[in-house]
Structure 1
Amino acid sequence: MTTLPTQAELAALALETARRCGVDTDALAGDVTTTSPINGLPVTSLAWQGAAEVDAAVARAQEAFLAWRRVPAPGRGALVKRFGELLAEHRDDLATLVSIEAGKITSEARGEIQEMIDICDFAVGLSRQLYGRTMPSERPGHRLMETWHPLGVVGVVSAFNFPAAVWSWNTAVALVCGDPVVWKPSELTPLTSLACHAVLQRAIAEQGAPAGLSQVLLGGPEAGEALVGHPGVALLSATGSTRMGRAVGPRVAERFGRSLLELGGNNAAVVAPSADLDLTVRGIVFSAAGTAGQRCTTMRRVIAHRSVADELTDRLASAYDRLPIGNPMAAGTLVGPLVNRRAYDAMTSAVEQALADGGTLVAGGGRALADLAPEAYYARPAIVRLEKQSDVVTRETFAPLLYVLPYDDFREAIDLNNAVPQGLSSSVFTSDVAEAELFLSAEGSDCGIVNVNIGTSGAEIGGAFGGEKETGGGRESGSDAWRAYMRRATNTVNFSGELPLAQGVDFTV
């Protein structure tokens, strides 16, 4: 039988866990109450910070930057190495806080903390690989090259669904690039944020680095708006909705700052006639129902060849019927709660609209566990079968709602994949090499992440993460995403003793 922790049990666990991570929980009293999606009840009360605190934080970060940029990159990597070691020590504690505040099942919460450890490993190696190029000069006795330098203060605005990992993607890379970070986390996950910050502050103290390298600001829209508009923030990395991005992007551009925007996703999998359906079903179910559908990379559309659409739909419906829904901290649970009532209402509205557009509900839908937790919102992951991609399908619904659509021709499937405003993640399930290569080509998926025979979610830190179109166009994490956190200088060195001009220009006086 499913049971949920009481308010007192969950609040006590959250505070004790945060304390073990180094948070001064005795100083947390405030007038803003946060709740847990597990039972919908209060966890703690905190004080919110506003624009004045943002100004002070950016000033402290700028002071730290002036010292930190002089530290050789491998020395900066030593701090990140220690941070990764401390994250490993507190892996279970941080995962517990992620579960309490974001509602993630235990294995996914631990996976998020492992992702933090992994990006630290990546960044440590990166600290010795911040390469510039040497290019041939057209002028004799000259050397042409580029160098990369620390950029400045990095502001991070993160969302509830990855309350720790997204911050770490930015922070680990920013620190080895020579930049301090000011973090405005989601209002829904403050204890997770404070605990992550405390762990990094311990590493900073142990390494003798400037304390202002890492700061966290708990606050509402006022704090976020102040950080976005602050002229002292060289790079603003924001994760959230496309609506948020429309406000953030122009504000940063207006002051000639840089921005990394990780916004909405409306991700699809194309399922070809040659697909291994056993593998396909497993890949779809995790991508669509994992994290209760609350990932930006969640699969929201399945575009299946008409010859396999019926069988695939039946298999998915059967798998959905077996998904254990309940306390995300309990063993065996695969689907935890939605973050709040607004998320559940949005899912309900989207299902109703899809049915009005001619769709058929083939699995799930509706609320679960309402008798156990009337203030929490557990939803049964839903599948709606449609004959065409209606307007509701082109909108992102941040919940476990999956649409199944048929196709006849592979290029038609590609067109359906691309016929949404978002462009984050996509996948194709096929055994046909030509189809796989076409999907990966310039004529194929227009997304930033394009997979073959795996789902749309679960990206590794080694690759650059991000999307196109209304997803924002930013790239974080691996590959060469580090370049966003540095400034490039092109250098010409003349050792010839002469002064020839480029392009053969003659300016002899």
Structure 2
Amino acid sequence: MKQALEEAAATGTDVQDHDHHGIKQVLHDLGIEAHNAAWSTGLTWGGAQNGNTRTITSTTDGRTIGTVALATAEDYEQVVQKAQEAFKTWRLMPAPKRGEIVRQIGNKLREYKDSLGKLVSYEMGKILQEGLGEVQEMIDICDFAVGLSRQLHGFTMHSERPAHRMYEQYHPLGVVGIISAFNFPVAVWSWNAMLAAVCGDTCIWKPSEKTPLTAVAVQHIIRDVLRENELPEGIFNLIIGDAEIGAKMAADTRVPLVSATGSTRMGKKVGEVVGARLGRALLELGGNNAIILTEHADLGIAIPGIVFGAVGTAGQRCTTTRRLIIHESIFEDVKARLLKIYPNLPIGHPLQEGTLVGPLIDQDAVQSFTKALAAVQAEGGQLLIGGEILSGAGYETGTYVKPALVEARNEYHTVQEETFAPILYLIKYSGGVENAIDTQNGVRQGLSSSIFTVNMREAEAFLSHAGSDCGIANVNIGTSGAEIGGAFGGEKETGGGRESGSDAWRVYMRRQTNTINYSTQLPLAQGIKFDV
């Protein structure tokens, strides 16, 4: 720890000492210190003195934001035990009362929206409006969960036996492990944690090691609510660590549900380990999302949706538009329109007003970007624009790139893979909409999809049994920007999990069928006779 702090100080670029874009005040408001503890059980922090630390620098300007201690195996054990203990109390609180706690958390997030949104932007690199939007998403899911706390409905059904009643009910499940990714460092946690909370579960949050400080900030915010309501430790827990901590959580039989967001490669490992112990894995993994433009598309609304979907969050959304499947009759027109827009995209510091495209998260992401462009061109793809790494004043980190347009074919190996960067592949199709749908479905991922058309038959075909095979299918809107009211998730290598709205809450509970005999007889089902 001492060495990490000395190294950070030696750089002379610590935002604790340089109030850059008002970040110093933001860190103060959110309780972020020069060095931050490794874990929290809601009211207590620990592990600050652990020898293993990580220095967190902003991808926007390379400045050190702070350091975090990394949790040990002993830390993890302590947190799990606290979560188990708290579950025994939390599950017995009436669901509407749990909803009241979540309501208060939502109000606290409203108070800190500007500061937290700014930290999300600065630590992760998304533009400020997206950072603020992510916090708003947290607020929205709190509101949703409050209403849900009075609607955890079971079912009733008629028994075949006289004087019997049958029904189903849902009970709290237990400790829920949440592994979140860097690109939505706080919102995805809230999708899981707020629903799990009203369902009566306790949570352990392992944030991405690339963006842990926003998680520390959230834990400080909800701590006030826990104190004000005299709640026990262990309801909302945080543990900061490397892949080893995530592996422990996946293998832990005391954690009946692990919700993991990230790459398909990571999800397969988590799913295999959780499945081996017959636990539940809620997986939100890679996407290779496509927009179909038929010859009947309204390009006036399609083009803005395409551009935001392709370059928003610098292409680092799981719902980013990666493939644009265009009817041959409008292909050249669409290409020309995009080539007119792309040179004028404002690329720069995400906290600078007017910026639309911020940096990639780190140098590994930049390398993936450049390697993918080299590979697709080697396969025969044509780079139309973009692909450069920006340098000079304001771009010293080497993480700012120019979004790329590539004319390609769907069968290229590179196009079949998800590159978490702003690359949009332009793919031409001919014939009817069924050909475009086949192309869209012709990848291993199945998260988000979209079609732009004013032709009702094309739209309905896209949404039919033979249409999009994705978990999200939109008409005349892009692939990004899902609302919290609907269940979020996808099929195939996207993992099959569902978070957020609709009836996604059911995965956080255990289902029970009950039969009550209020007669003086004991009739058996199916008319079986058994005399003793």
TM-score by length of 2: 0.92
Task: Decide whether the 8 Å contact of 2:369 with 2:421 is kept in 1.
Answer: yes
CA distance in structure 1 between the aligned counterparts of 2:530 and 2:386, rounded to whole angstroms: 77
- Corresponding residue to 1:58 among 53, 58, 80: 80
Q: Which residue of 1 aligns with 2:44?
A: none
Q: Which residue of 2 aligns with 1:7?
A: 13
Task: Decide whether the 8 Å contact of 1:173 with 1:477 is kept in 2.
Answer: yes
Q: Which residue of 2 aligns with 1:402?
A: 424
Q: Which residue of 1 aligns with 2:451?
A: 428
Q: Secondary structure at the match of 1:416?
A: helix
Task: Decide whether the 8 Å contact of 2:34 with 2:65 is kept in 1.
Answer: no
CA distance in structure 2 between the aligned counterparts of 1:88 and 1:487, rounded to whole angstroms: 32
Task: Decide whether the 8 Å contact of 1:18 with 1:192 is kept in 2.
Answer: no
Task: Decide whether the 8 Å contact of 1:466 with 1:476 is kept in 2.
Answer: yes
Q: Secondary structure at the match of 2:183?
A: coil
| More displaced 10-residue stretch of structure 1: 137-146 or 379-388 | 379-388
What amino acid sits opposite 2:275 in the alignment?
A: A
Task: Decide whether the 8 Å contact of 2:487 with 2:502 is kept in 1.
Answer: yes
CA distance in structure 2 between the aligned counterparts of 1:175 and 1:387, rounded to whole angstroms: 46
CA offsets 1:65-106 (integer angstroms, 9 cap, x no match): 000000000000000000000000000110111011100100
Q: Which residue of 2 aligns with 1:88?
A: 110
What amino acid sits opposite 1:246 in the alignment?
A: K
CA distance in structure 1 between the aligned counterparts of 2:489 and 2:502, rounded to whole angstroms: 12
Confirm or deny that 1:283 pairs with 2:305: yes
Q: Give the aligned length.
A: 504
Q: Which residue of 1 aligns with 2:151?
A: 129
Q: Residues 220-299 of structure 1 correspond to what in structure 2 (within 5 A)?
A: 220-299=242-321
CA distance in structure 1 between the aligned counterparts of 2:392 and 2:168, rounded to whole angstroms: 60
CA distance in structure 2 between the aligned counterparts of 1:99 and 1:175, rounded to whole angstroms: 27
Q: Relative to 1, partners in 2 of residues 1:188 and 1:26: Cα closer, same or farther, differing over 3 Å?
A: closer
- Corresponding residue to 2:28 among 19, 29, 45: 19
Q: Secondary structure at the match of 1:88?
A: helix
CA distance in structure 1 between the aligned counterparts of 2:527 and 2:23, rounded to whole angstroms: 69
Q: Residues 34-433 of structure 1 correspond to what in structure 2 (within 5 A)?
A: 34-409=56-431, 410-433=433-456
What residue ranges of structure 2 are gaps of 5+ in the alignment? 1-11, 38-47
What amino acid sits opposite 2:185 in the alignment?
A: P
CA offsets 1:383-420 (integer angstroms, 9 cap, x no match): 00124531110000000000000111211111110111
CA offsets 1:319-357 (integer angstroms, 9 cap, x no match): 111110000001000000000111111111111111122
Task: Decide whether the 8 Å contact of 2:60 with 2:397 is kept in 1.
Answer: no
CA distance in structure 1 between the aligned counterparts of 2:260 and 2:271, rounded to whole angstroms: 9
CA distance in structure 1 between the aligned counterparts of 2:157 and 2:428, rounded to whole angstroms: 51
Q: Secondary structure at the match of 1:57?
A: helix
Percent of aligned pairs with the same amino acid: 52
| More displaced 10-residue stretch of structure 1: 288-297 or 206-215 | 206-215
Q: Secondary structure at the match of 2:467?
A: coil
What residue ranges of structure 1 are gaps of 5+ in the alignment? 1-5
Confirm or deny that 1:485 pairs with 2:508: yes
Q: Relative to 1, partners in 2 of residues 1:245 and 1:130: Cα closer, same or farther, differing over 3 Å?
A: same
CA distance in structure 2 between the aligned counterparts of 1:320 and 1:129, rounded to whole angstroms: 47
What amino acid sits opposite 1:448 in the alignment?
A: G
CA offsets 1:274-324 (integer angstroms, 9 cap, x no match): 100111100000011000000000000000000011111111121111110
Q: Which residue of 1 aligns with 2:6?
A: none
Q: Secondary structure at the match of 2:366?
A: helix
Using the TM superposition, give the Cα deviation of residue 27 of structure 1 relative to its aligned residue in structure 2, in angstroms: 5.1
Q: Secondary structure at the match of 2:465?
A: coil
- Corresponding residue to 2:462 among 439, 457, 469: 439
What amino acid sits opposite 1:57 in the alignment?
A: V
RMSD of the alignment, in Å?
1.5
| More displaced 10-residue stretch of structure 1: 398-407 or 351-360 | 351-360
Q: Secondary structure at the match of 1:233?
A: coil
Q: Secondary structure at the match of 1:367?
A: coil
What amino acid sits opposite 1:168 in the alignment?
A: S
CA offsets 1:179-199 (integer angstroms, 9 cap, x no match): 111000011111100001111
Q: Secondary structure at the match of 1:212?
A: coil
CA offsets 1:45-82 (integer angstroms, 9 cap, x no match): 22111222111111000000000000000000000000
Task: Decide whether the 8 Å contact of 1:54 with 1:217 is kept in 2.
Answer: yes
| More displaced 10-residue stretch of structure 1: 164-173 or 344-353 | 344-353
CA distance in structure 1 between the aligned counterparts of 2:74 and 2:440, rounded to whole angstroms: 45
CA distance in structure 2 between the aligned counterparts of 1:134 and 1:42, rounded to whole angstroms: 57
CA offsets 1:252-276 (integer angstroms, 9 cap, x no match): 1112211100000000001000100
What amino acid sits opposite 1:232 in the alignment?
A: R
CA distance in structure 1 between the aligned counterparts of 2:516 and 2:266, rounded to whole angstroms: 45
Task: Decide whether the 8 Å contact of 1:41 with 1:375 is kept in 2.
Answer: no
CA distance in structure 1 between the aligned counterparts of 2:457 and 2:107, rounded to whole angstroms: 44
Q: Relative to 1, partners in 2 of residues 1:177 and 1:139: Cα closer, same or farther, differing over 3 Å?
A: same
| More displaced 10-residue stretch of structure 1: 351-360 or 476-485 | 351-360
Using the TM superposition, give the Cα deviation of residue 25 of structure 1 relative to its aligned residue in structure 2, in angstroms: 5.5
Task: Decide whether the 8 Å contact of 2:348 with 2:394 is kept in 1.
Answer: no
Q: Which residue of 2 aligns with 1:3?
A: none
Q: Relative to 1, partners in 2 of residues 1:235 and 1:381: Cα closer, same or farther, differing over 3 Å?
A: same
CA distance in structure 2 between the aligned counterparts of 1:372 and 1:93, rounded to whole angstroms: 23
Using the TM superposition, give the Cα deviation of residue 41 of structure 1 relative to its aligned residue in structure 2, in angstroms: 3.6
- Corresponding residue to 1:467 among 490, 498, 501: 490
| More displaced 10-residue stretch of structure 1: 25-34 or 77-86 | 25-34
TM-score by length of 1: 0.96
What amino acid sits opposite 2:375 in the alignment?
A: Q
Task: Decide whether the 8 Å contact of 1:102 with 1:160 is kept in 2.
Answer: yes
CA distance in structure 2 between the aligned counterparts of 1:25 and 1:197, rounded to whole angstroms: 17
| More displaced 10-residue stretch of structure 1: 448-457 or 252-261 | 252-261
